[in-house]
Structure 1
Amino acid sequence: MQQIEFSNLGEHFFTTTLDNGLRVNILPKPKFHKTFAIFSTNFGAVDQTFVPVGQTAFKTYPSGIAHFLEHKMFEKADHDAFDLFGKYGADANAFTSYTKTSYLFASVGSVHENLDILLDFVQDPYFSEKSVNKEKGIIAQEINMYADEPDWRGQMGIIGNLFPEHPVHLDIAGTVASIQDITAEQLYENYNTFYTPENMSLFISGPTDPETLLNWIEANQARKQFVSHDLPQRKAIDSQGNEDILPFRLAEMPISVAKSFVGIKGPMNSQINATGLKTKIQLQLLLQMLFGVSSQNFANLYKNGLIDDSFGYESNYERTFNFALLYGDAEKPSQLSDQLLDLLEKGPTSPDLNQAHLERLKRKRIGSFLLNFNSVEAIANLYNTYDFGEATVFDVLNIIHETTIDDIVNLAKVYLDTKNASVFHVIPKQ
């Protein structure tokens, strides 16, 4: 097991890859009481078309199947994994993103027992047609619930404008229609292809001894047999052209105030490596400089009554896609979106992009980042978010420190191209 010391963080990190291919990462926090573990597979909602293990041709599965699989993993033939976690005092959960599925628990005691439960239930699937059909109604209710949320409707709308041919435009949970086509056989095909040790990682943080914990994990894995195979062969998705962008759409909903969404599709393909992590962090800084509360842009928009405290911005840089979003409530949604597009176009020459502003935001970002290391949950989730293969969350601090105003301006020149932009409005139903 390799030990890496991060003197700038005051942390000792332990990492190794087991004989079966599972990556194990341990961050000891000796003065803490709680332990948090997260077990992830590199498989998410966008992975709909791939060659199933043991087959030779690409196959496309219903949208929402990764999320559906996550739901069904907890249920076994004669018990539910949640009940086992409860027996040992652990809080357990799971989530599916566009590119990953993760299972997790937090506990104060019985760490080894809870770790066994986590590894065992994820590595021992059980699906039956009866239980699959029962789950369809539950997930359909979840999908309908989100469809009634105007903010969610707007976000999915703008992503759909930017990526009409990419599976990212589909709800992670799928549609009520698509999940009806999911079968137990399909779940097993997806599981056997992506839930292999070579495609998974385990991160644990808490008051644990790394050697003892690793021995426990190795003993757990030694009790199981895994069929080794190559990493999944996914259908290549070229998502960064602007030819298919839909410039504008709108939706009507029973709301009192309209919502305006502006999105910009990244001009470059995502790189899941050190360069990609650097771009992800610097894109976050760029948006904060241009539209954060310390920016002159924000002050002018607020002064002119175009935005209120609902205004926000975000970026998403993931495997096969990346984009940036701006959004907020607006009495005159077209006026807000026009103004935001104008600010994006002028972004590379904006007075907000200056050295003093960057240094202030870097200090603020570093402070917020370091605070996360006071929470095992925050550390684990950050590791999951910033796991870029050769680069991890432990590289984030250096990236922030080393970012210059020239880096930010150059990124703005490349990224803020309004030919790659789109607008989506959610307006009161007439």
Structure 2
Amino acid sequence: MLTKHAYSRLGETVYQTTLENGLKVILIPKADFHKTFAVMTTNYGAIDNEFVPRGQQQAVRFPDGIAHFLEHKLFEKEDHDAFDLFGQYGASANAFTSFTQTSYLFSTTNHVRENLDILLDFVQEPYFTAATVNKEKGIIGQEIQMYDDDPGWQSYFGMIGQLYPREPLHIDIAGTVESIAQITADDLYAAYQTFYHPSNMSLVIVGQLEPETVLAWITANQARKTFGPNEPIQRVASPQTPAAEIVPQTTRHLTVTRPKVSIGLRGYDEVPAGRAGLHYSAAVSLALDLLFNDTGDHYLRLYDANIIDDSFGYDFQVQRGAHFAQLAGDTDHPETFVSELTAILDDAAAQLVAAQEQFDLVKREAIGRLIGAINSVEAIANQYDGPLFGGTTIFDELTILEQLTFADVQQALAAFLAASQRTVYTILP
């Protein structure tokens, strides 16, 4: 039975239910849209490389990159490829793996039921053999080598590696050529059976749909299948890197025309659980907007001095078990880039007060970006974070953002910075 949550001011309604097998279903009708977008996600990503396989008693350390490898292999079946089936019904399909999730998706304007059946069936019917696994190793190996030559990717993971040297977060999502060479079909089945149970998954569908009808389609599909019991997943948490072991600075030379600098800040404060965690994330993000957005005094001063350019950006991420901020960009003056930005962070409390008159403007800009995202079926579906923030949606995020006060922003940034550790990763020509 669907529960209904209306966001009357936005004119949006979210329908949710959990099926008997544990699959969480979120349906968001958009009557004025021709497109329908669906994403099926498992709460399993690159950092989940040590766990107790379902049906076993002992933890096993699996090769790095197995979650991403599994994502690739699920499309290929004994006698067909799921991409071909989507193509026959006019849908565009894709998938991606993050640190903590793996998602499979399609977008279509027609044949929603047929494409939905294809999505559910190919994700829930694995087929792995030694021959197909070995063939995929070469394909993914080339992908890994491509990212090895990507300075932006290397800057990002270099920064993370220095912040999280003991945790699997520092490992490239795709693994390494050496690690994926160890993956077997049995490994893939063990990971699949552990993390791809419906109770660890969600299905979000946004677009032109009638909720009760679509739920009936999903229920009929799931009734044709048999799943094992819903058992707790036993992940093995890696030891947390002590603050003293954070690598403060590294310089590396690659084939780039200009230096790249990435400043990372690892949070050691505790992120609140559920919806409060989304409030915290939004508050820190808004604080960074006040300090570094492209209409602020600091940005304009550093831009005019040629210390930063339009490649400069910043980000704050909250993942399962980790949260960090990054400030990065290309610069001809890497040492000055670092000293100027760290000086702002060191004096963040006073700098926020100095920027307080910009708070309403910056907040409205953030709300505007979010409202723009609400006009995208892809953004609505992809911004569902499952259990991370207590099942909140993009519409909850908008409500939280609107309610944020300047004091909330001050408090959240102070907590993050007071407990954070920094690193600098520089790439030179």
Corresponding position: 1:67 with 2:68: yes
Q: Is the 8 A contact 2:94 2:105 kept in 1?
A: yes
Q: Equivalent residue for 2:91? A: 90
- Structure 1 residues 158-167 or 402-411, which shifts more? 402-411
Superposition deviation, residue 367 in structure 1:
1.6
Pair 418,310 (structure 1): closer, same or farther in 2 beyond 3 Å: farther
Q: CA deviation at 1:207?
A: 1.1
Tell me if the contact between 1:30 and 1:206 (Cα under 8 Å) persists in the aligned partners. yes
Distance 1:291 1:402 in 2: 22
SS at 1:372 equivalent: helix
- Give the drift of 1:173: 0.4
Partner of 1:136: 137
The CA deviation at 1:322 is 0.6
Task: Return the TM-score normalized by structure 2.
Answer: 0.96
Question: Counterpart of 1:289?
Answer: 290
Residue 360 of structure 1 aligns with an amino acid whose one-letter code is L
5 Å-filtered alignment, 1:324-363, equals 324-351=325-352, 354-363=355-364
Matching residue of 1:195? 196
Q: Which runs of 5+ in 1 are unaligned?
A: none
The separation in 1 between residues aligned to 2:29 and 2:185, in whole angstroms, is: 39
Is residue 171 of structure 1 aligned with residue 172 of structure 2?
Answer: yes
1:395-421: per-residue Cα shift (whole Å, max 9, x none)?
A: 111211111111111122222248611
CA spacing shift, 1:293–1:352, aligned 2, 3 Å = farther
Aligned partner of 2:35 in structure 1 is 34
Distance change in 2, residues 1:179/1:270 (3 Å):
farther
Shift of 1:299: 1.5
SS at match of 1:243: helix
| Matched-pair contact (CA < 8 Å) for 2:287–2:352 | no
RMSD: 1.6
Amino acid at match of 1:277: L
Q: Could you tell which deviates more after superposition, 414-423 or 321-330?
A: 414-423
The whole-number CA distance in structure 1 between the counterparts of 2:76 and 2:259 is 42
Q: Percent identity, aligned pairs only?
A: 46
Pairwise mapping of residues 411-430 of structure 1 onto structure 2 (< 5 A)?
411-417=412-418, 420-428=421-429
- Quote the offset at 1:356 in angstroms: 2.7
The answer on whether the counterparts of 1:36 and 1:206 sit within 8 Å (CA) in structure 2 is yes
Distance 1:118 1:301 in 2: 48
Task: Report the CA distance between 1:243 and its aligned residue.
Answer: 2.4
How far off its partner does 1:112 sit?
0.3
* Residue 110 of structure 1: how far off its partner (Å): 0.5
Q: How many residues align?
A: 428
Tell me how far apart the structure 1 counterparts of residues 376 and 187 of structure 2 sit (CA, whole Å). 38
Q: Relative to 1, partners in 2 of residues 1:130 and 1:272: Cα closer, same or farther, differing over 3 Å?
A: farther
**CA-to-aligned-CA distance 1:317-364 (integer Å, 9 cap, x gap):** 110111000011122212211221111111121056544311111111
Q: Which runs of 5+ in 2 are unaligned?
A: none
Q: CA deviation at 1:392?
A: 2.8
For 1:19, what is the secondary structure of its paired residue?
Answer: coil
In structure 1, the residue corresponding to 2:76 is in which secondary structure? coil
Name the residue aligned to 1:262. Answer: 263
The CA distance in 1 between the partners of 2:49 and 2:159, in whole Å, is: 21
What letter matches 2:4 in structure 1?
Answer: Q
Secondary structure class of the residue paired with 1:212? helix
Q: 1:116 to 1:302 in 2, by over 3 A?
A: same
Deviation at 1:278, TM superposition (A): 1.1
Tell me if structure 2 keeps the 8 A contact 1:296–1:352. no
Q: Partners in 2 of 1:262 and 1:386 — Cα distance?
A: 29
Q: Take 2:347 and 2:154, find their aligned partners in 1: how far apart are those partners? A: 28
The answer for the alignment partner of 2:156 in structure 1 is: 155
Equivalent residue, structure 2, for 1:101: 102
Question: Could you list the per-position Cα deviations for residues 274-297 of structure 1 after superposition, in whole angstroms to 9, with x for gaps in the alignment?
Answer: 111111111211111111112211
- The CA deviation string for residues 144-194 of structure 1, in whole angstroms up to 9 with x for no partner, is 111111111111111111111111111100011111000000000000000
Q: If the length of structure 1 is used for normalisation, what is the TM-score?
A: 0.96
What letter is aligned with 1:374?
N
Question: Which residue is 2:231 aligned to?
Answer: 230
- Counterpart position of 1:215: 216
1:125 counterpart = 2:126: yes
1:111 pairs with 2:112: yes
Whole-angstrom CA distance in 1 between matches of 2:250 and 2:142: 26
Q: Alignment partner of 2:134: what SS?
A: helix
Do structure 1's residue 14 and structure 2's residue 15 form an aligned pair? yes
Q: What does residue 299 of structure 1 align with?
A: 300
Which residue does the alignment assign to 1:402? Answer: 403
2:98–2:173 contact (8 Å) kept in structure 1: yes
Distance, in Å, in 1 between the alignment partners of 2:255 and 2:356 is: 45
1:239 CA displacement: 3.9
Distance change in 2, residues 1:254/1:54 (3 Å): same
Paired residues of 1:238 and 1:269 also in contact (CA < 8 A)? no
